[in-house]
């Protein structure tokens, strides 16, 4: 689009250090948590859409743990029965009841099988829930992109937005699938094991419980210190993705200007920041498990010592000691898992915050009662329009113009004069600061936004083609067009002949960057797209700038045919291409300094004549 946009909207790259995204260097203070609890509450709202599946998953998870924690006590009873039987057999007063032991062991096997089955079912249910949540989030992000104002993308790199769709949603999905069920099963296991331990020995249970405050303290300290680095890791990851995406797309320019070393240095700087935040977050979170294991092992040793004393005094049986030792392991394990889940939740919260931040971004406002005109003729009126991308930097000061149906209005002027800005206002990518802009007699702010944009067909200086066939690219502006209409539009745009020379003709697949056809050919296809769209008004922003002189002449004839009967706005630097325009507006510093036909403006000998003659002087 316009040259002035590079000056007024998008920070220039590689001047004064990296400017991508919104993160700062790691040396600066890391932004504090915006709303950890609030983020989780919002996420619960998403989970609530699948509450039936979640409830069943919770029930199966609890059932799995219940079946599992009953096992050690049953096994302890078997041990006690076997010990007593062997003791009686040695004393000659009895024998081992192997029938009872066999039945009990079969019951134990059934309990463990039931536990595994319930665990399998809850895993299947939670995987479905998390994937549906991820699907919904990606869908909402894709829909959000379509309604976020253009100004949002001026302050956020494409890589950062892509990172939110891919990395952050993936992190959310993986973490949610692991953490929710793990949290439920761990809490259930702690409660269940605690009950079973109390049923065996209250003193031994007290020995184990005293380790909980130490575990809670470790968890709290580790979460406090690691959370900022988890947030920084996700933030810098988005910036790294932005660098990779931008450098890959601009590799030709980087090589031509010998800036490969600078590009690598910039990437290395961000990569170092990602390494530091990732290393610190993982190191601090990794400390939690060994520290928790240390606390658990200390509790285990204390249980063995106290249990031996109780067994010697006859307070508990041998099998009870075995069961209790198993329960100690089953008790410390979920405590450690909760510590691990806390790390997962931190990573999930950091990723989810970024997703919700984008979903909460401001949207393009639509009129409360959007209007659509009864007839579309292509009438456009600028009435004392004032506009600036920033409140303190006005680009268009006081612009008034009327384009009648069927007229061709050319807009010329030096770089940065505000030419393309007017086109952005027409499309309502931005709203005017003062005055009004009317299309078909209706203020654009009162239009239905989608209907307003269907008023115009556009051909821009920067071509955009998607990965697909030539036919589909031409048909993009009018999906219901027939193959015959597509080919007729291509003939009008003077691109039918070269298309038929491609392998597959109209079914030739253009690659993602459009690099398997020439720049001029890409321009011709976008012109054919505008021809096929058949809108009442046209916007041509240097539409012939990327073609040779002979092709430009052919396209100009096609444009004359295309513009006949339509209101057309033509931005041109080659003033020879607008000699037949009904009105030429000469912009300078956001104001109209001259207005008239080509002949009138040349005769006036003003700024337009100076621009026109300078082009021939340069050519000479």
Q: Please tell me whether residues 352 and 399 are part of one structural domain.
A: no
User: Across residues 215-235, what is the average pLDDT?
Assistant: 75
Rounded Cα distance between 532 and 562, Å, is 10
CB 604 within 8 A of CB 431: no
Lowest-confidence region among 4-18, 521-535, 584-598: 4-18
Helices (H) and strands (E) in the chain, counts: 21, 12
Question: What is the pLDDT confidence band of residue 499, given thresholds at 50, 70 and 90?
Answer: very high
Question: What is the pLDDT confidence band of residue 484, given thresholds at 50, 70 and 90?
Answer: very high
**Percentage, residues of the chain above pLDDT 70:** 89
Question: What is the pLDDT confidence band of residue 323, given thresholds at 50, 70 and 90?
Answer: confident
Question: What is the pLDDT confidence band of residue 241, given thresholds at 50, 70 and 90?
Answer: confident
Q: Which of 1, 17, 46 has its CA nearest to residue 352? A: 46
pLDDT of 154 strictly over 50: yes
Rounded Cα distance between 7 and 482, Å, is 42
Mean pLDDT for all residues in the chain: 79
Q: Please tell me whether residues 319 and 399 are part of one structural domain.
A: no
Instruction: Report residue 569 CA to chain centroid gap.
Output: 35
Quote the number of domains for the chain. 2
Q: Please tell me whether residues 74 and 184 are part of one structural domain.
A: yes
Q: Please tell me whether residues 346 and 265 are part of one structural domain.
A: yes
Q: What is the pLDDT of residue 551?
A: 65
Q: What is the pLDDT of residue 566?
A: 82
> Is the model more confident about 575 or about 32?
575
Lowest-confidence region among 25-29, 97-101, 264-268, 296-300: 25-29
Burial 495-522 (b: 16+ CB within 10 A, else e): bbebbeebeeebebebeeebeebeebbb
Q: Please tell me whether residues 299 and 439 are part of one structural domain.
A: no
User: Across residues 347-369, what is the average pLDDT?
Assistant: 82
Structural domain for 86, as ranges: 5-18+35-359
Q: Would you say residue 442 lies in a domain? A: yes
pTM: 0.62
Q: Would you say residue 388 lies in a domain? A: yes
CATH number, residue 518? 3.40.50.300
User: Across residues 341-354, what is the average pLDDT?
Assistant: 79
pLDDT of 28 strictly over 50: no
Please tell me what DSSP assigns to residue 463: -
Q: Would you say residue 260 lies in a domain? A: yes
pLDDT of 533 strictly over 80: yes
612, containing H or E segment: helix 607-619
SS3 state of residue 531: helix
Question: What is the pLDDT confidence band of residue 471, given thresholds at 50, 70 and 90?
Answer: very high
Q: Would you say residue 280 lies in a domain? A: yes
Last residue of a domain, one of 359, 393, 417: 359
Q: What is the pLDDT of residue 547?
A: 62
Question: What is the pLDDT confidence band of residue 508, given thresholds at 50, 70 and 90?
Answer: very high
Q: Would you say residue 85 lies in a domain? A: yes
Rounded Cα distance between 410 and 584, Å, is 5
Q: Please tell me whether residues 92 and 163 are part of one structural domain.
A: yes
Q: Please tell me whether residues 335 and 425 are part of one structural domain.
A: no
Q: What is the pLDDT of residue 116?
A: 92
Q: Please tell me whether residues 384 and 338 are part of one structural domain.
A: no
Read off the pLDDT of residues 192-208 as tens digits, 9 standing for 90 and up: 888 888 888 888 888 87
Q: What is the pLDDT of residue 469?
A: 92
> Does the CA dihedral 484-486-489-491 come out positive or negative?
negative
CATH number, residue 58? 1.20.1560.10
**Percentage, residues of the chain above pLDDT 90:** 5
pLDDT of 231 strictly over 70: yes
Q: Please tell me whether residues 126 and 258 are part of one structural domain.
A: yes
User: Across residues 400-418, what is the average pLDDT?
Assistant: 83
pLDDT of 353 strictly over 50: yes
Q: Would you say residue 48 lies in a domain? A: yes
Rounded Cα distance between 150 and 281, Å, is 35
Q: Would you say residue 61 lies in a domain? A: yes
Q: What is the pLDDT of residue 197?
A: 83
CB 410 within 8 A of CB 456: no
Q: Which of 554, 551, 494, 546 has its CA nearest to residue 520? A: 546
Read off the pLDDT of residues 252-284 as tens digits, 9 standing for 90 and up: 777 777 778 888 888 888 888 888 888 887 787
Please tell me what DSSP assigns to residue 384: E
540, containing H or E segment: strand 537-541
Highest mean pLDDT among 137-141, 227-231, 447-451, 515-519: 137-141
User: Across residues 364-390, what is the average pLDDT?
Assistant: 82
Residue 92 CB neighbour total at 10 angstroms: 7
Q: Please tell me whether residues 145 and 218 are part of one structural domain.
A: yes
Q: What is the pLDDT of residue 316?
A: 76
Q: Please tell me whether residues 569 and 494 are part of one structural domain.
A: yes
402, containing H or E segment: strand 396-403
Q: What is the pLDDT of residue 613?
A: 81
User: Across residues 174-199, what is the average pLDDT?
Assistant: 81
CA angle 216, 219, 225 (to 5 degrees): 140
Strands 408-412, 583-588: pairing is parallel
pLDDT of 125 strictly over 70: yes
Lowest-confidence region among 126-130, 338-342, 565-569: 338-342
Q: What is the pLDDT of residue 615?
A: 67
Question: What is the pLDDT confidence band of residue 336, given thresholds at 50, 70 and 90?
Answer: low
| Partners of 412 in beta bridges | 586
pLDDT of 133 strictly over 60: yes
Q: Would you say residue 457 lies in a domain? A: yes
pLDDT of 23 strictly over 50: no
> Is the model more confident about 414 or about 503?
503
Last residue of a domain, one of 330, 359, 388: 359
pLDDT of 448 strictly over 60: yes
User: Across residues 61-69, what is the average pLDDT?
Assistant: 86
CA 342 → CA 16, 202, 214, 222, 224, distances in Å?
39, 30, 16, 9, 11
Q: Please tell me whether residues 279 and 420 are part of one structural domain.
A: no
Rounded Cα distance between 300 and 553, Å, is 89
CB 568 within 8 A of CB 376: no
Q: What is the pLDDT of residue 544?
A: 66
Question: What is the pLDDT confidence band of residue 177, given thresholds at 50, 70 and 90?
Answer: confident
Instruction: Report residue 400 CA to chain centroid gap.
Output: 40
Burial 412-445 (b: 16+ CB within 10 A, else e): bbeebbbbbbbbbbbbbebebeeeebbbbebebb
Question: What is the pLDDT confidence band of residue 554, given thresholds at 50, 70 and 90?
Answer: low
Last residue of a domain, one of 359, 390, 408: 359
């Amino acid at each position: 689009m316009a040259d002035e946009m590079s000056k007024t909207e998008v920070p220039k790259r590689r001047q004064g250090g990296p400017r991508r995204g919104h993160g700062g260097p790691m040396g600066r203070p890391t932004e504090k948590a915006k709303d950890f609890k609030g983020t989780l509450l919002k996420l619960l709202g998403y989970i609530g859409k699948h509450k039936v599946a979640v409830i069943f998953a919770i029930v199966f998870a609890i059932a799995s743990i219940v079946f599992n924690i009953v096992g050690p006590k049953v096994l302890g009873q078997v041990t006690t029965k076997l010990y007593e039987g062997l003791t009686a057999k040695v004393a000659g007063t009895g024998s081992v009841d192997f029938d009872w032991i066999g039945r009990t062991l079969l019951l134990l096997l059934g309990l463990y099988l039931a536990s595994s089955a319930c665990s399998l079912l809850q895993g299947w249910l939670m995987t479905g829930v998390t994937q549906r949540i991820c699907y919904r989030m990606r869908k909402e992000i894709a829909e959000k992109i379509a309604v976020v104002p253009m100004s949002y993308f001026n302050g956020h790199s494409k890589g950062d937005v892509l990172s939110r769709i891919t990395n952050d949603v993936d992190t959310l999905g993986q973490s949610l699938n692991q953490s929710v069920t793990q949290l439920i099963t761990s809490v259930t296991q702690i409660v269940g094991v605690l009950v079973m331990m109390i049923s065996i020995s209250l003193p031994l249970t007290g020995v184990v419980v005293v380790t909980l405050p130490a575990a809670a303290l470790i968890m709290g300290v580790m979460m406090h210190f690691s959370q900022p680095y988890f947030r920084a890791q996700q933030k810098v990851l988005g910036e790294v993705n932005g660098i990779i995406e931008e450098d890959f797309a601009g590799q030709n320019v980087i090589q031509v200007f010998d800036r490969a070393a600078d590009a690598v240095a910039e990437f290395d700087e961000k990569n170092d920041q990602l390494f530091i935040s990732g290393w610190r977050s993982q190191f601090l979170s990794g400390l939690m498990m060994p520290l928790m294991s240390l606390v658990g092992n200390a509790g285990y040793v204390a249980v063995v010592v106290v249990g031996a004393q109780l067994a010697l005094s006859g307070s508990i049986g041998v099998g009870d000691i075995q069961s209790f030792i198993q329960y100690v392991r089953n008790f410390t394990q979920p405590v450690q898992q909760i510590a691990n889940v806390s790390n997962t939740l931190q990573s999930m919260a950091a990723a989810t915050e970024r997703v919700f931040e984008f979903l909460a971004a401001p949207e393009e406002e639509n009129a409360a009662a959007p209007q659509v005109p009864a007839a579309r003729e292509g009438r456009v009126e600028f009435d004392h329009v004032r506009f600036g991308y920033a409140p303190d930097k006005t680009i268009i000061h006081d612009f008034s113009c009327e384009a009648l149906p069927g007229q061709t209005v050319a807009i010329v002027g030096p770089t940065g004069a505000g030419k393309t800005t007017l086109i952005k206002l027409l499309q309502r990518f931005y709203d005017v600061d003062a005055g009004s802009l009317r299309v078909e007699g209706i203020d654009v702010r009162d239009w239905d936004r989608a209907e307003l944009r269907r008023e115009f067909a556009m051909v821009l200086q920067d071509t955009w083609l998607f990965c697909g066939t030539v036919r589909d690219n031409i048909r993009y502006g009018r999906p219901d067009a027939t193959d015959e209409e597509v080919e007729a539009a291509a003939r009008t745009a003077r691109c039918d002949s070269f298309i038929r020379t491609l392998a597959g003709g109209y079914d030739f697949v253009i690659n993602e960057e459009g690099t398997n056809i020439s720049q001029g050919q890409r321009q011709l296809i976008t012109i054919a797209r505008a021809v096929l769209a058949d809108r009442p008004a046209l916007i041509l922003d240097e539409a012939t700038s990327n073609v040779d002189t002979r092709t430009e002449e052919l396209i100009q004839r096609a444009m004359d045919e295309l513009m006949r009967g339509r209101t057309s706005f033509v931005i041109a630097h080659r003033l020879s291409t607008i000699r037949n325009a009904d009105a030429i507006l000469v912009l300078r510093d956001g104001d109209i300094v001259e207005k008239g036909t080509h002949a009138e403006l040349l005769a006036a000998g003003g700024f337009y004549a100076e621009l026109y003659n300078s082009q021939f002087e340069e050519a000479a």
